[in-house]
Amino acid sequence: MAEQKELAGKVALVTGAGRMRSIGRAIAKKLAAMGCDVVLTGTGRSPERYPDDEKAAGWRDIDSVADEVRALGSRALPVVCDVRSASAIEDLMRRVIEAFGRVDILVNNAGAARGRDRVPIVDLSEDLWRQVIDTNLTGTFLMSRAVARQLLAQNEGGRIINISSIASKLVEPNNGAYAASKAGIQALTCVMAAELAPAQITVNAVLPGIIDTFRMDDLGRGEVWERLIKARVPLGRAGTGEDVAEVVGFLCSPRAEWITGQCYIVDGGTVRLP
């Protein structure tokens, strides 16, 4: 049965949507299947930096995802944008309004990749700390501020979904910058939910667990990966981008119009809170 087009006429902006194995791609396709036109942002990374599977597939980052959105019957606008830059976001918003005349949904999915920041706090450089915080937390703030201003001007409600992480709950060693940035996203989510509620703009967060994306490649595959999943995920498998996209789609839908200021864990049972 074809997906119900319950978001027909809406325009969604999804950041960090260019990777072939990613949450952002799945979210963009889900919202397109629900009827949204979709703005996709990416970093404009060089093809030399693509993983081998993307190179083999002839992947073209946000342009490839834009083609998938169009194949689902929706319009797409791929834009290279640095979410850490207020001026770049202003340019992005001008292009969005020129192309579509409005925006209804923001999904803050762009995030710093796993890297040299995964060390003890005493060994973490200020530059690496700022790189993670600026991308994850400041980027979410700047994008949310710009889109919220547009939503308030439109005066027709709207949705903001922030992609956080269970790292904010597990707060494990060697994860200080990332965990702090994601916990900050959740606090920001709750504050914005209270501020924007009178305008019928809902703000929620989704906290993925271990999702089988390119971000996990450095942990190892094969036996190493299987042991990790067995030890960490009670439901016995890694999550997919589509698992996260299903929750995002629901939160963007009319069915979730009375839900705001909430943080939804999507992790196969890794984190269990009473």
User: Strand 201-208 vs strand 158-163: parallel, antiparallel, or unpaired?
Assistant: parallel
Q: Taking a C-beta distance cutoff of 8 angstroms, is the pair 8, 1 a contact?
A: no
Catalytic-labelled residue, pool 50, 100, 141, 178: 178
* Pure H helices in the chain: 23-33, 52-57, 62-71, 86-100, 126-133, 139-154, 167-170, 176-196, 223-232, 241-252
Q: Quote the distance between the C-alpha of residue 137 and its chain's center.
A: 12
CB atoms within 10 A of CB 34: 22
Torsion sign across C-alpha atoms 44, 49, 54, 58: positive
Active site residue 178: yes
Whether the CB-CB separation of 73 and 38 falls below 8 Å is answered with no
Question: Residue 132 corresponds to which tokens in the numbers above?
Answer: 């993670």
Those residues with Cβ within 8 angstroms of residue 210's Cβ, 6 or more apart along the chain or in another chain = 216, 228, 229, 232, 233, 238, 239, 267, 268, 270
Which positions are catalytic? 178
